Structure formats: C-alpha cells, structure tokens
C-alpha cells in the first residue's frame, strides 16, 4: 500500500520545530540544555488578552464565525492599518486565518499556477519555499550575505524577474537575519515593483520588534499604486507573545481575499472564535506590554551579539529587528578540529554539522543556517533569559576553543 502522496516529495519538515523537539527530548532525559532554537517569544501572553478570551467563552462566543473572521476583529485590523501604517482597507480586503503561516499558505494556494515563479530573498523563513513548492510554484532565490547586510538591491530584484514571476516575498524585519529595510531601501525596491505585473507579499510579522526607533516601512506604505499590488501578512504571534493562539491576518486585493476565503472555507473554516476575541483585545488594548517586551529583547540583543563577537572567528551583525542573531562561522569552518569532524561525520552541510555537535556534546540548541538557505551561519533566537544567554554562548565559545586545538 502506498501511504504517502507525491505532493509531499517537495516538502521538508520544519527544521526549527525538529531542533526544538530534539532539544526538548534531551531536556526530558535530565540534561541541562540551552535552547536558542525556538522561533517564539518566551513571555507570557499579557493578562488583559487572556481576560478577553475568558470573557468571550463566558459570553458564549464558542461557535463558528464567518470564515474570514468576525466583523469586529476585522474592524480592529482595519483600524490598526489606518492608525499605524496609514493604509486604508475595506472589510472585503481583510482575511483572518489560523496564524500568519496559514494566511501565507492560503495566499499561495489561491494565487499560484504550476510553474509560476516566486522570488524569495535568502536567507529566508523556512516555510516560504516549501509552501510555494506545495502550491506547485517555483521558488527563485536571490542570495544576500552578511557583507551586504542581508538586503537585496533593486538591480538584483530586477534581474530575478522573468515573464513567469508572479510573486515577490518581502520580509522586514527578517527571520532569520533580523535585518530591516529602511524607508529608502523600500522605496528603491518599489521603484522596480511598481512597474511590474507582480504581487508583493509583505510579511510584517516582526513589525513591532524593531530597535533603535527605526521606522517600520512596508512596500504598500510607499504609494497607492504599490498598495494595490501588495498583499500584507501580519499576526499577533510575535508582537503579543501569542504563538499558541494561532491568529494571523492578511490584507490586499478583494479578489485575492475572496479566493482565499473559498480555500479556507474548504479546509479549516474560521480561526478559533475565542482566539479571535483575544486578538481583538491585543490590537485594541493597552500596548505597554509590547513596549516592555521590546525593551527586554533589546537588552538581550546587545548582550548576545556582544558575547558572540568575543568568540574568535565569529562575525555577527547587530540585527535591527526580530529576536534572532545570525552569526557567520566562515572562519570556524576552517579550524583544524572542524575539518577533522567534517571528514569523520560525512556531513555535507557545515552549519548542520556544527549545530549537531553543539547540541549533542555541548547541549546548546541552534538552528543551522542551511535551513534558511545560508550554510555560513547559524541562527540563535534570544527569546530566553540573560543567564541562559550567557551560559549558552559560553558553551559555544568552549566548542570553538576545542575545535581550535
């Protein structure tokens, strides 16, 4: 009996989730593991949001809602776009889904035809390429690296565009690099995109996690013409520490939203009614918890980057946003101890080899850069306390010292 559909041939299990699972397994066996793997904030969901969920349950909001979200949550989302981004949307341009991930998934299933090309700057969030392939599209990767600040140029974008290009994915601040595009950077990309028949998907999930008062700018905010061609994805997971509640939303052309609604209506239907009430409270309520989380992340950011930079051979950019450090290990890979390991283990990915040994021998979990399309790097999430950050980076330093021998 054949148990697996061919469609799965093009999909990899999420490596971030795999690392977290392995780290948890080691922890459960009694080991003291430091986990830099997780892609979620470690803070609890603010209490006023939890209260709103309890109230919704008690008020009987426990039934199906419209597939694309409750009218009142959509209204809160419209207000958010108007107030924070200067963008005006109607209700038929908004869709609420089970996490930003499902919104992205439904977007691609609703828009792509076989062979349509989707431009994805690397390093990229692990799910983009897999979702595009599942939807029978072809990912077209534009490489960036630490030297150019992990940002693509308008020229690079232009040369990646072909007759088959359907979508360009823009993610700023970025997971995994933490790099954020400035208004000037975004304007330069828009000068190309405005004149092309391409939809830009702007993944704004890290909008609120941006440091040093850097202005958050997405392509739709640059011009009305660009707004027409942009589909925005956002959600409450990262900003309000609500990953488990599973609420994301999208905004864009009514025709796209209508087809996503059809897709969603034949798969999951509405996102959880209780979570929708909680998300509404998150968007409309007190924003101080967001500021408090940002402050804590900022301190950890400076701590972890400072400590990583003290390790000889490691090169690390100060990220402008999100909660990830993405250090380059290019010089570490040249160390005699590492070369010996590479020969012994027969592992072709250097970042995977480094992370495997780091987890097994030093009990520190990081995600190999190869998962994001960049084998020179590893990703460390700093969504954990300062004591753990210090302990974890000290162990990485120890591993590097051992490899130098």
List residues binding ligand PLP (CB under 6 A). 39, 99-101, 125, 171, 175, 203, 205, 235, 237-238, 243, 248
**In contact, 249 and 235? CB cutoff 8 Å:** yes
Closest contact distance (angstroms) between CB of 268 and ligand PLP is: 13
Which residue sits closest to ligand PLP, CB atoms considered? Answer: 99
Closest contact distance (angstroms) between CB of 200 and ligand PLP is: 15
Closest contact distance (angstroms) between CB of 60 and ligand PLP is: 27
CA distances in angstroms from 221 to 188, 195, 217, 229, listed in the order given: 13, 16, 7, 11
205 versus 332: smaller Cβ distance to ligand PLP: 205
- Ramachandran sector of residue 48 (left: φ over 0; alpha: ψ -120 to 50; beta: rest): alpha
Spatial CB neighbours of 348, under 8 Å, sequence gap ≥ 6: none
The structure tokens listed for 250 are 């999208």
Closest contact distance (angstroms) between CB of 321 and ligand PLP is: 11
171 versus 230: smaller Cβ distance to ligand PLP: 171
26 versus 290: smaller Cβ distance to ligand PLP: 290
104 versus 314: smaller Cβ distance to ligand PLP: 104
Gap between the Cα atoms of 141 and 147, Å rounded: 18
Closest contact distance (angstroms) between CB of 177 and ligand PLP is: 11
Spatial CB neighbours of 315, under 8 Å, sequence gap ≥ 6: 146, 309, 327, 328, 330, 331
26 versus 214: smaller Cβ distance to ligand PLP: 214
167 versus 357: smaller Cβ distance to ligand PLP: 167
**In contact, 175 and 377? CB cutoff 8 Å:** no
Instruction: Count other C-beta atoms under 10 Å from residue 115's C-beta.
Output: 10
> Is residue 369 helix, strand or coil?
helix
Spatial CB neighbours of 141, under 8 Å, sequence gap ≥ 6: 120, 121, 122, 124, 129, 373
271 versus 308: smaller Cβ distance to ligand PLP: 271
Closest contact distance (angstroms) between CB of 100 and ligand PLP is: 3
Closest contact distance (angstroms) between CB of 345 and ligand PLP is: 30
Of 66, 50, 40, 44, nearest to 281 by C-alpha is: 50
């Amino acid at each position: 009996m054949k148990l697996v559909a061919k469609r799965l041939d093009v999909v990899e299990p999420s490596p971030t989730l795999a690392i977290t699972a392995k780290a948890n397994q080691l922890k459960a066996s009694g080991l003291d593991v430091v986990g830099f793997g997780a892609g979620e904030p470690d803070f609890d969901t603010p209490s006023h949001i939890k209260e709103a969920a309890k109230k919704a349950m008690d008020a009987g909001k426990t039934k199906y809602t419209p597939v694309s979200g409750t009218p009142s949550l959509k209204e809160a989302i419209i207000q958010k776009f108007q107030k924070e981004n200067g963008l005006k949307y109607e209700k038929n341009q908004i869709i609420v889904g089970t996490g930003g991930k499902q919104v992205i998934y439904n977007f691609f299933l609703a828009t792509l035809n076989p062979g349509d090309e989707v431009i994805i700057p690397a390093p990229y969030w692990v799910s983009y390429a897999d979702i595009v392939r599942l939807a029978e599209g072809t990912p077209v990767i534009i490489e960036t690296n630490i030297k150019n600040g992990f940002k693509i140029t308008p020229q690079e974008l232009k040369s990646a565009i072909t007759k088959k290009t359907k979508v360009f994915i823009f993610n700023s601040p970025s997971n995994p690099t933490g790099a954020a595009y400035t208004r000037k950077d975004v304007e330069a990309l828009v000068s190309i995109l405005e004149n092309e028949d391409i939809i830009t998907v702007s993944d704004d999930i890290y909008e609120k996690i941006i440091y040093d008062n850097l202005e958050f700018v997405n392509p739709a905010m640059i011009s009305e013409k660009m707004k027409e061609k942009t589909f925005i994805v956002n959600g409450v997971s990262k900003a309000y520490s609500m990953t488990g509640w599973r609420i994301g939303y999208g905004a864009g052309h009514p025709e796209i939203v209508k087809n996503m609604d059809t897709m969603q209506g034949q798969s999951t239907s509405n996102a959880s009614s209780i979570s929708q009430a909680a998300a509404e409270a998150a968007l409309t309520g007190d924003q101080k918890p967001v500021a408090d989380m940002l402050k804590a992340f900022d301190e950890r950011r400076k701590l972890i980057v400072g400590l990583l930079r003290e390790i000889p051979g490691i090169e690390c950019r100060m990220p402008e946003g999100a909660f990830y450090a993405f250090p380059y290990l290019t010089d570490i890979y040249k160390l005699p101890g590492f070369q010996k390991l590479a020969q012994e283990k027969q592992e072709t990915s250097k970042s995977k080899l480094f992370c495997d040994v780091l987890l097994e021998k030093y009990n520190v979990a990081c995600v190999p850069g190869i998962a994001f399309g960049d084998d020179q790097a590893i990703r460390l999430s700093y969504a954990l306390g300062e004591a753990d950050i210090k302990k974890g980076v000290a162990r990485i330093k120890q591993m590097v010292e051992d490899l130098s021998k």
